[in-house]
Amino acid sequence: MEQPESQSKITRPTCPACGHEGSRVYINLMDRIFQSKEKWNMDGCLNMSCRTFWLNPGPSKEALPDLYADYSTHTENEIVTEPEHAPKDACDGLLENSIRAYLHYAYGYFEQIPLLPGLLSRFIYLYPSWRDQAQMRVFYAEHVGDGKFLDVGCGQGGNMLMMQALGWKAEGIDFDSTAIAIARKRGLNVSDQDIHSKNYPDGNFDLILLCHVIEHLPDPRETIAECHRILKKGGKLVLITPNGLGAGHRKYGRNWRGLETPQHLQIFNPKSLKYICDEVGFTDIQAFSSPSGDDYVLYQSALLAKNEKIGASDFTPEPSFIKRHLKWFLRDLKGYHWRDLHETAVAICTK
């Protein structure tokens, strides 16, 4: 039985991506990560060119801050300044150096690439999971000398620190004042405002990132349109968000970790990201699924399916190098890449 609507909720009768009507997919979803007490319903878009999922009713704008009182961005994480993982063994170290070589040749980052990693980097071009993991390190953006980077929903500023280390001039905004306070302690250029109230000038940024942000916003279309306005000609908007049409959601349903009800107001997919970005004026759009986050999301989804209590920082036990990459290779053989079945949806939009 569906729960009656409270004053903290608003009706959302149409799809936030394309405006079409939807049908009920889930009733009485619970917050199983951060443990708020409300129950929520979710609709799915009937437009087969979109297929977005969204909360209906959803939280009102006034109620949104309360949903983040105990959110993961409120715990200060270790400061990360390098766009790479610490190697765990010799094989991992060689792969890391090969990824750096790949990013040097393909995107213009790093200098003085050793010979062996330079040769091995050629294999990264051929292996979708390795290639995408490498590209995600720089958010699919070529190096731009003194390029201006805006992180919308920057949280504690981890992505800003990485991009600064790669030579970008980084700025960040987030409505979460607790996370912004942590970012300021790190010496970052951040503010607790939304993108509309900042009133940036036209054509101000070379790169804008919304990394696991667009699913949280009550106005995704308006936000993407504002990003289009403030991007320079030739600049890129990169959207990274859970993939509602991925293998994990198909398998685990209401136990899928990517739902994260009610903080995630809508769940996009590569098709719906392309649809909404095209509608606001982008013409050069690449939309696809990424293996980034596959292990984490699938592991936590399996725990939720067993009714186990989890936290946002409960990561999957790290398998050996061979087991980890064999698992990725098998997913590639199953066509996860070209069928957009990975757990993360990505859109790269060039103005």
Per the structure block, which two tokens stand in for 63? 């109620």
Average the pLDDT over each of 15-24, 83-92, 221-230 and give the range with the smallest value.
83-92
Q: How many CB atoms lie within 10 A of CB 107?
A: 17
Query: Is pLDDT larger for residue 279 or for residue 127?
Result: 279
| Mean pLDDT of the 27-54 span | 92
**Percentage of residues in the chain with pLDDT exceeding 70?**
89
Average the pLDDT over each of 41-45, 54-58, 142-146, 284-288 and give the range with the smallest value.
142-146
Burial of 313 (0-12, 13-18, 19+ CB in 10 A): exposed
**Residue 14's closest CA among 37, 46, 48, 62?**
46
User: What is the C-alpha to C-alpha distance for residues 138 and 18, in angstroms, rounded to an integer?
Assistant: 30
**Percentage of residues in the chain with pLDDT exceeding 90?**
62
Sheet strands (E) in the chain: 9-10, 22-30, 39-45, 53-55, 58-59, 148-152, 169-173, 190-191, 205-211, 231-242, 266-267, 284-290, 344-350
Q: Rg (Cα) of the chain, in Å, rounded?
A: 20
pLDDT greater than 50 at residue 102: yes
Predicted local confidence at residue 219, as pLDDT: 92
pLDDT greater than 90 at residue 178: no
Predicted local confidence at residue 79, as pLDDT: 52
Per the structure block, which two tokens stand in for 201? 């000038």
In one-letter notation, the amino acid at residue 89 is D
Per-residue pLDDT tens digits for 194-211: 999 999 999 999 999 999
Give the pLDDT band of residue 150 (cuts 50, 70, 90). very high
Predicted local confidence at residue 84, as pLDDT: 44
* Run of H or E including 195: helix 195-198
**Is-cis flag, bond preceding 117, omega within 30?**
no
CA–centroid distance for 328 within its chain:
19
User: What is the C-alpha to C-alpha distance for residues 5 and 290, in angstroms, rounded to an integer?
Assistant: 36
**Residue 204's closest CA among 235, 249, 165?**
235
pLDDT greater than 50 at residue 242: yes
Predicted local confidence at residue 258, as pLDDT: 96
Query: Is pLDDT larger for residue 283 or for residue 86?
Result: 283
Predicted local confidence at residue 4, as pLDDT: 47
